[in-house]
Chains A and B, each alone.
Chain A
Amino acid sequence: MRHQSRIAFILLLSPLVLWLGLLILIPHVDMLLISLRERVSFGVYETSLTQYEKALTEPLYLRTFWRTAVMSVLATAITLLIAFPVAYYIAKMAKGRLQQVLFMLCLIPFYVSELVRTFGWMILLRETGIVSNLLQWTGLADQPVELLYTDATMMVGLVYTSMLFMVVPLVTTLESLDDSVIEAGYDLGGNGLSVLREIIIPHAMPGIVSGCIVVFMLSLGNYLTPTMLGGKDSLWFTEMIYNQFIVRSNWELGAAFGFMLLVLSSVIVWGMLRLTGRTLKETMG
């Protein structure tokens, strides 16, 4: 009997172990090793920190690195600001059918592939696109307007892509807040702002933190949106990784970039948890 349960345990655990090992652990270890070597001549490598040195001294690399970090944090903040009222409306104010319909409306765009969605934005925003034509037709613009390839457009794309991942955890935590607790907040003399600050936000904190972590990771690791919607100045760090691996075939530098991104996201997530005074355990439940 004991023997059997042991086998069952191993069988149940093996898919997870295989997944973690084959797809996450081994590639990362390999990447780390690649990033720590230098090609001295054809087929000859030696261990060194040259790749990291290159990455940290070259202004373009460093600038893109920080830009990506700052823009991702900004995208996360904007997403939170937009998603919070939406989630609050869905969770607390909409009732019954309307609630389900609104939730579905948030979900439906994600039935379509990210590529198609991004092309959708391009159709709307390009020089000969719908918005440009509309502006000319109403007389607000006297010539075609190019709305693509700016940081603002890229930000719109990033926020749009991440919206659902912020709304879902927020709706879940806000739904678990008893209406009478909010009413008690008003009954005891609170106004909208103080109830929001002292009752609703503290209650929604787990949802806010987990939503922010997911959105931040998604933005940081996004490739498609910055590439398609961003301008020539909007270089994203993932694009540089892609370039090193695929265009330049410089796997060593690409691997080093990859590791820098991993460290960056870990540090920012850790900082976010520290800032909100939460532990990873609390946030992940």
Chain B
Amino acid sequence: MTPDLECVDLVKRFGDTTAVDNVSFSVPPGSFFSILGPSGCGKTTIMRMIAGFLDPTSGDIRIKGGSVLDTPPNKRPVNMVFQHLALFPMMTIAENIGYGLRRRGMSRDEIGRKVDEALDRIGLPGIGGRKVDELSGGQKQRVAIARCMVLEPDVLLLDEPLGALDLKLREHMKVELKALQAAFDTTFVYITHDQSEALVMSDQIAVMNAGRFEQVGSGQDLYYRPGTPFVAGFIGESNRWKGRIERAEGGVMQLRTDTGLAMRAAGAALSEGDNAEIFVRPETIRLAGSAEALSRFDNQLKGTVTSLLFNGAASRVLVQDDAGEILEVTLPQSGEFASLKRGDTVHIGWAADQAACFGAA
């Protein structure tokens, strides 16, 4: 099947700086594709090139198989939901949604019908006569999407559209966006710096850093099998160390961190003497009252609780081992450790294959 959107060796330079460095990807029809990266990584540049507001320095952008490089933005079969939505404040909601249809020279009746249909689709029937500033943040969001979707674009681009919403609404809109995407059955390309947005909604996520794609994969791939140290550090939380491989046999490595902590890790093909970066997620570390409970783990430590970071379901314990190393461990909310307090002695352990290990220079 021809991908809806395909970028081939895309490069964009601004003077001496390379904002987008040889990026290639393709997005299959009807999927939700996210580009996730810290601010300034070049993700907005990619989106603006796809929309047609910027010309790539080199490379090609294909939509449904055909190159769109010579197509101006107003003729491209892609539409964009802007970061601050960019609804037209001088028009009513119905006029906003009908704007693109009017540009296509559609008859007044048909526009009216399509606009009503779109308003039904986004669950806001009958608000067509209102002004933009009379709507709430979430409603504006949906109107901005409807304004693009009435044009039935091949690809819908979304540039961090949830950034301006408050936390509760953002959580709600994540689910809603995913549902809207399924309802419209259109390819969404979504840009964000918020990993939770990307993980919840996307079929495929590209993690971007300094103009390049670090890894492209499903949320599970990125979380469980990060391909680079950047991805391991960027997606989710991690305890991270730099260290040296002391022994390597059969995929399991014995290594020692620069701070002196010895541990076993699996994964990367490294040999004795190599430098390595090690990532261990707080939620993969098991907390226990006694050493026996941890006997099945490759790595076991005894330590003292130095502080409790309460944050509901995401609560953490900081555990300091005998060597002085501090580890972040997720605090299970099953009640078992409800009485845990500062200064308590605890045992922690994790499996070798839960530690992601990468070669370092």
Contact A186 B73, beta carbon cutoff 8 Å: yes
Q: Are A187 and B79 interface neighbours, CB within 8 A?
A: yes
Contact residue among A181, A186, A188 (Cβ-Cβ distance under 8 Å from B147): A188
Q: Which residues of A contact B99 (CB under 8 A)?
A: 185, 188, 190, 198
Which of B82-90, B198-206, B348-356 contacts its partner?
Answer: B82-90
C-alpha gap A188/B156 in the complex (Å): 11
Count chain B residues whose beta carbon lies closer than 8 angstroms to a beta carbon of A. Answer: 25
Task: Return the chain B residue nearest A201 by Cβ.
Answer: B90
CA distance A202 to B91 in the complex (A): 9
Q: What class of interface size applies to chain A in its complex with B?
A: 10 to 19
Contact assessment for A184 and B103 in the assembled complex, using a CB-CB cutoff below 8 Å: no
- Tell me whether A187 and B88 are in contact in the complex, defined as CB-CB below 8 angstroms, given that A194-B103, A198-B99 are known contacts: no
Interface centre among B74, B87, B147 (most CB of A within 10 A): B74
Q: Is A126 an interface residue (CB 8 A)?
A: no
Closest to A203 in B: B90
Residues from chain A with a CB closer than 8 A to the CB of B84 are 178, 180
Q: B72, B75, B89: which has the most chain A beta carbons within 10 Å?
A: B89
Q: Is A224 an interface residue (CB 8 A)?
A: no
Q: Are A178 and B86 CB-contacts (below 8 A) given A187-B51, A189-B74? A: yes
Q: Is A183 close to B, CB under 8 A? A: yes
Question: Which residue of A186, A202, A203 contacts B74 across the interface (Cβ within 8 Å)?
Answer: A186
| Distance between Cα atoms of A199 and B132 in the complex (Å) | 14
B151 is an interface residue with CB less than 8 A from chain A: yes
Please tell me if A191 contacts chain B, counting CB pairs below 8 Å.
yes
Cβ of B80 within 8 Å of any chain A Cβ, yes or no, is yes
A85 to B88, CA, bound (A): 21
- With A186-B73, A188-B148 known as contacts, the answer to whether A181 contacts B104 (CB < 8 A) is no
**Could you tell me the distance in whole angstroms from the C-beta of B20 to the nearest C-beta in chain A?**
19
- CA–CA, A180 and B103, complex, Å: 18
**Contacting residues, chain B, for A185 (C-beta < 8 A):** 88, 99
Residues facing A in B60-88 (CB within 8 A) are 72-75, 79-80, 82-84, 86-88
* A189 lies within 8 A of B103 (CB): yes
Chain A 185-221 interface 0/1 with B at a Cβ cutoff of 8 Å (1 = within): 1111111001000110011000000000000000000
A215 to B148, CA, bound (A): 41
B230 contacts chain A at the CB level, 8 A cutoff: no
Q: How far is the CA of A190 from the CA of B75 in the complex (A)?
A: 9
Q: Contact at B86–A181, with CB atoms within 8 Å? A: yes
* Known contacts A190-B103, A194-B103; A183/B86 CB under 8 A: yes
In the complex, B217 has a CB within 8 A of chain A: no
Q: A187-B51, A194-B103 are in contact. Are A180 and B83 (CB under 8 A)?
A: yes
Q: Is B30's CB within 8 Å of the partner chain A?
A: no
CB distance from B207 to the nearest CB of A (A): 26
Q: When the two chains form their complex, are residues A199 and B73 in contact, meaning their CB atoms are under 8 A apart?
A: no
B82 lies within 8 A of A180 (CB): yes
- Cβ < 8 Å to A, chain B residues 75-129: 75, 79-80, 82-84, 86-91, 99-100, 103-104
Residues from chain A with Cβ under 8 Å of B72 in the complex: 186
Which A150-197 residues have C-beta < 8 A from chain B? 178, 180-181, 183-191, 194
> Given the known A-B contacts A186-B74, A187-B74, are A199 and B90 also in contact in the complex, defined by CB atoms under 8 Å?
yes
Q: Is the CB of B86 within 8 A of A184?
A: yes
Verify if B25 is at the interface (C-beta below 8 Å from A).
no
Q: Quick one: which of A178, A184, A199 contacts B80, CB cutoff 8 A?
A: A184
Q: Is the CB of B100 within 8 A of A183?
A: no
Q: Report how far A185 CA is from B79 CA in the complex, Å.
A: 11
Partner of A188, one of B79, B89, B90: B79
Q: Who on chain A is nearest to B83 by CB?
A: A180
Which residue in chain A gives the minimum CB-CB distance to B150?
A: A188
Binary flags per residue of B126-150, CB closer than 8 Å to A gives 1, else 0: 0000000000000000000001100
Counting chain B CB atoms within 10 Å of each CB, the highest count among A191, A198, A202 belongs to: A198
Known contacts A189-B151, A199-B88; is-contact A183 B82 (Cβ 8 Å): yes
Q: How close is A100's CB to chain B, nearest CB, in angstroms?
A: 22
Minimum distance in angstroms from B351 CB to a CB of chain A: 48
Q: How far is the CA of A189 from the CA of B72 in the complex (A)?
A: 10
User: How far does the Cβ of A42 sit from chain B's closest Cβ, in whole Å?
Assistant: 63
Closest to B99 in A: A188
**A202 interface neighbour in B52, B75, B90, Cβ under 8 Å:** B90
Q: Is the CB of A189 within 8 A of B104?
A: yes
Of the listed residues A189, A190, A199, the one surrounded by the most CB atoms of chain B closer than 10 A to its CB is A189
| Minimal Cβ-Cβ distance residue in A for B48 | A183
Distance in Å: Cβ of A209 to nearest Cβ of chain B: 14
Identify the closest chain A residue to B76 (Cβ). Answer: A187
Nearest chain A CB to B101's CB is how many angstroms away?
A: 9
A183 vs B103: C-alpha distance when bound (angstroms): 15
Query: CB-nearest residue of chain B relative to A199?
Result: B88
The 9 closest A-B pairs by CB, nearest first: A189-B103, A188-B100, A202-B90, A184-B86, A180-B86, A180-B82, A181-B86, A186-B74, A189-B100
Q: What are 27 sample pairs from A and B whose C-beta atoms fall under 8 A apart? A: A180-B82, A180-B86, A183-B82, A183-B86, A184-B82, A184-B87, A185-B88, A186-B72, A187-B73, A187-B74, A187-B79, A188-B79, A188-B100, A188-B148, A188-B151, A189-B74, A189-B100, A189-B104, A189-B151, A190-B74, A190-B99, A190-B103, A194-B103, A198-B91, A198-B99, A202-B91, A203-B90
Residues of chain B at the chain A interface (Cβ within 8 Å): 51-53, 72-75, 79-80, 82-84, 86-91, 99-100, 103-104, 147-148, 151
Query: Which A positions have Cβ atoms within 8 angstroms of B?
Result: 178, 180-181, 183-191, 194, 198-199, 202-203
| New contact pairs (13) apart from A180-B84, A191-B74, A202-B91, CB-CB < 8 Å | A178-B84, A181-B87, A181-B88, A183-B53, A184-B86, A186-B72, A188-B100, A188-B103, A190-B74, A198-B91, A199-B88, A202-B90, A203-B90
